[in-house]
C-alpha cells in the first residue's frame, strides 16, 4: 500500500490551517511507516533483486552464437584460411546441442583437417555421463535463484517487522507523554483553584499569609512539572517524526495539532487464559516467523551447493558426437549417421578425491552451522514470546490492583477536602493526598501504555507486524 504526499498534507499539516485536531492512531501510523519509511522501501528492493538474480541464472541456459576465423599468409602465399561458426544450445539435463559450419582453404593444410570444398555442416550433441549428470553449475544456480524469491520475501518481512516494532514503541512513548501532560494540566488547574480559594480566605481573614504562600508554591511546583512533561512530549514527537516520510522520500514533522488518542480510548481489557494462545504462537514461530523462514531458505541453498560438491566425488566422463555433412548437405545418400561423424570421449578422475571430499565436508559444516543458528534463533524468539506473555499477565494484575489503589487515594482525597473545608486539615496534608492521586494516575498511564507495548512486542516476537 502506498500513501501519497497529498495524504500527508491533509492528515498531518491541514489541522494547522483549520486550527482543528486530528488523532493519529497506531494502525494509521504503522501503515505510513511501512509504506514510506526508507528502511521499508529498501527492504522492498529485495523483490527486484530476485528478478535480477533469476535473469542471471537463466543466462546460463542461453543459446550462444560463436564465430572464429583464422588466416595465415606468408611471402604472398595463403597458407590457410579457417572459419568455424556455431550455435550452441544448453539444456536442463546437462545436454548441449550444437549446429555449426566450418570452412578451410589454403595451400598448406593438414590432411586430417581437410574439409569438403563446400565446407562442412555439423550437428552435434555433448553430454556428461557420470559427473554433473544429476546437477551442474547452471542447474544449481537456477535452483538457488528460484529459492531466492521466498528468501528475499522473508528477509523483507523480517526487516519491516523490526522497523515497525521500533516505530510502534516510539509511538506509544508519544502517547504516554501526551496523557501524562493531561494529568499535569489537571493538577495545575486544581492547584490554581485552591490557591485562588486560599487567597480569598486570606482577604477574609480565615487563612494566613503562610497558607497563601504554600498554595502559591504548589501552583509553581506543578507548573514546572507540566513544563517538563511538555518538553518530553515535544521530544517524543520529534522521535516519532523520524519515522514519517512522504512517498517520494521527503521527511515530515508531525504538526502540533496532530495528537495521540486519550488514555480512556484504549484501556486494556483483562486477558483470558493465555496457555492455548501461547502454544499456538510458539508453533507459529517455528514455521512462519520471517527470520526462521529466511534461515530455512538459506539452508536449502546450501543443500543445493552440497549436492553440487558431491558431484565432484564422481569421475568425469564427457561424450561428444558430431554428425558431419558435405557443405550444408546433411541429408544426402552418403550422409549416413555411422559414416560421417566425429566422436569424442574425455575421462578425468583424481585418485583419492581429497579436494572434493574437503569441499563436501565444508558444505556439511555450513549446513550444520546454519541449523544451529536456526535452532538458537527459534529458542530466542520463543523465550522472548514467553517473557512478553508473562510480563503482560503481571502488568494486568498490577493494573487491576493499582486501579483499586487509585480509587482509594481518590476517596482519601475527597475526605481530606471535606476536612479542609471545615478547618480540620491543612494545605500540606491536602497536597500530600492530592500528590498520591496524581502519582497513581501517572502510574496507571504507564501501566496501560506498558500493556500496549507488550501487545506490540508479542506481535513482534511472532513476526506478524509486517503481515505477509
Dump pLDDT digits (tens) for 418-466: 888 887 888 888 888 999 999 999 999 999 999 999 999 999 999 999 8
Residue 334 has pLDDT above 60, yes or no: no
Q: What is the pLDDT of residue 468?
A: 60
pLDDT, one tens digit per residue, over 249-281 is 899 888 888 999 988 887 655 555 677 788 888
* Cβ contact 402:444 at 8 Å: yes
Residue 5 has pLDDT above 50, yes or no: no
Q: What is the pLDDT of residue 273?
A: 63
Residue 52 has pLDDT above 60, yes or no: yes
Q: What is the pLDDT of residue 448?
A: 93
* Cβ contact 356:312 at 8 Å: yes
pLDDT, one tens digit per residue, over 170-189 is 999 999 999 999 999 999 99
Percent of the chain with pLDDT over 90: 55
Q: What is the pLDDT of residue 248?
A: 87
Q: What is the pLDDT of residue 331?
A: 67
CATH of domain 5-36+139-305+361-462: 1.20.1600.10
Q: Quick one: average pLDDT of 139-157?
A: 92
Q: Quick one: average pLDDT of 293-320?
A: 94
Q: Quick one: average pLDDT of 213-226?
A: 91
Kindly report the three-state secondary structure assignment for every residue of 289-353.
Answer: CHHHHHHHHHHHHHHHHHHHHHHCCCCEEEEEEEEECEECECCCCCCCCCCCEEEEEEEECCCCC
* Cβ contact 258:234 at 8 Å: no
- Residues constituting the chain: 468
Q: What is the pLDDT of residue 332?
A: 57
- 369 compared with 61, residue with greater pLDDT: 369
Residue 126 has pLDDT above 80, yes or no: yes
Of 304-308, 380-384, 427-431, minimum mean pLDDT range:
427-431
* Cβ contact 222:184 at 8 Å: yes
Neighbouring C-beta atoms of residue 268, cutoff 10 Å: 17
* Cβ contact 44:160 at 8 Å: no
- State the chain's mean pLDDT as an integer: 87
Kindly report the three-state secondary structure assignment for every residue of 124-144.
Answer: EEEEECCCCCCCCHHHHHHHH
Q: What is the pLDDT of residue 206?
A: 72
Banded model confidence at residue 220, pLDDT cuts 50, 70, 90: very high
Q: What is the pLDDT of residue 1?
A: 42
- The winner for highest mean pLDDT among 71-80, 338-347, 455-464 is 455-464
- Of 381, 369, 208, the C-alpha closest to 298 is 369
Q: What is the pLDDT of residue 386?
A: 93
User: Domain spans of the chain?
Assistant: 5-36+139-305+361-462, 66-91+95-131+316-351
Banded model confidence at residue 19, pLDDT cuts 50, 70, 90: low
* Cβ contact 270:32 at 8 Å: no
Cell 508453533, residue located: 283
What pTM did the predictor assign? 0.84
Banded model confidence at residue 10, pLDDT cuts 50, 70, 90: very low
Neighbouring C-beta atoms of residue 32, cutoff 10 Å: 24
Q: What is the pLDDT of residue 254?
A: 87
Amino acid at each position: 500500500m502506498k500513501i501519497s504526499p497529498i495524504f500527508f498534507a491533509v492528515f498531518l499539516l491541514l489541522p494547522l490551517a483549520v486550527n482543528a485536531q486530528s488523532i493519529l492512531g497506531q494502525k494509521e501510523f504503522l501503515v505510513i511507516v511501512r509504506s514510506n519509511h526508507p528502511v521499508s522501501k529498501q527492504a522492498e528492493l529485495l523483490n527486484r533483486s530476485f528478478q535480477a538474480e533469476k535473469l542471471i541464472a537463466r543466462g546460463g541456459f542461453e543459446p550462444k552464437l560463436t564465430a572464429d576465423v583464422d588466416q595465415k599468409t606468408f611471402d604472398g602465399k595463403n597458407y590457410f584460411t579457417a572459419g568455424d561458426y556455431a550455435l550452441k544450445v544448453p539444456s536442463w539435463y546437462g545436454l548441449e546441442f550444437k549446429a555449426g559450419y566450418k570452412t578451410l582453404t589454403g595451400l598448406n593444410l593438414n590432411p586430417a583437417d581437410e574439409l569438403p570444398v563446400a565446407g562442412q555442416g555439423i550437428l552435434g550433441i555433448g553430454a556428461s555421463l557420470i559427473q554433473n549428470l544429476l546437477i551442474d553449475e547452471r542447474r544449481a544456480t537456477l535452483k538457488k535463484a528460484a529459492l531466492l524469491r521466498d528468501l528475499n520475501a522473508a528477509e523483507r518481512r523480517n526487516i519491516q517487522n523490526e522497523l515497525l516494532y521500533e516505530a510502534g514503541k516510539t509511538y506509544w512513548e508519544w502517547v504516554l507523554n501526551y496523557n501524562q501532560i493531561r494529568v499535569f494540566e489537571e493538577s495545575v488547574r486544581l492547584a490554581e483553584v485552591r490557591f485562588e480559594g486560599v487567597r480569598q480566605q486570606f482577604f477574609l481573614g480565615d487563612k494566613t499569609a503562610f497558607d497563601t504562600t504554600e498554595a502559591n508554591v504548589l501552583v509553581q511546583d506543578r507548573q514546572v512539572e507540566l513544563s517538563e512533561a511538555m518538553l518530553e512530549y515535544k521530544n517524543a514527537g520529534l522521535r516519532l517524526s523520524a519515522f514519517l516520510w512522504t512517498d517520494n522520500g521527503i521527511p515530515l514533522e508531525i504538526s502540533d495539532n496532530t495528537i495521540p488518542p486519550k488514555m480512556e480510548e484504549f484501556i486494556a481489557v483483562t486477558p483470558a487464559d493465555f496457555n492455548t494462545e501461547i502454544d499456538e504462537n510458539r508453533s507459529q514461530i517455528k514455521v512462519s516467523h520471517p527470520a526462521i523462514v529466511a534461515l530455512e531458505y538459506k539452508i536449502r541453498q546450501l543443500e543445493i551447493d552440497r549436492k553440487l560438491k558431491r558431484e565432484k566425488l564422481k569421475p568425469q566422463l564427457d561424450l561428444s558426437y558430431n554428425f558431419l555433412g558435405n557443405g550444408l548437405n546433411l541429408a544426402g545418400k552418403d550422409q549416413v549417421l555411422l559414416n560421417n561423424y566425429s566422436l569424442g570421449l574425455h575421462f578425468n578422475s583424481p585418485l583419492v578425491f581429497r579436494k572434493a571430499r574437503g569441499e563436501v565436508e565444508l558444505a556439511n559444516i555450513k549446513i550444520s552451522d546454519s541449523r544451529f543458528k536456526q535452532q538458537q534463533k527459534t529458542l530466542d524468539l520463543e523465550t522472548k514470546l514467553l517473557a512478553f506473555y508473562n510480563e503482560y499477565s503481571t502488568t494486568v494484575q498490577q493494573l487491576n490492583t493499582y486501579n483499586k489503589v487509585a480509587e482509594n487515594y481518590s476517596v482519601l482525597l475527597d475526605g481530606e477536602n471535606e476536612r479542609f473545608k471545615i478547618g480540620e486539615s491543612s494545605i500540606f496534608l491536602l497536597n500530600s493526598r492530592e500528590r498520591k492521586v496524581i502519582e497513581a494516575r501517572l502510574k496507571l498511564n504507564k501501566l496501560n501504555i506498558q500493556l500496549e507495548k507488550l501487545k506490540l512486542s508479542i506481535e513482534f516476537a511472532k513476526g506478524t507486524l509486517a503481515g505477509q
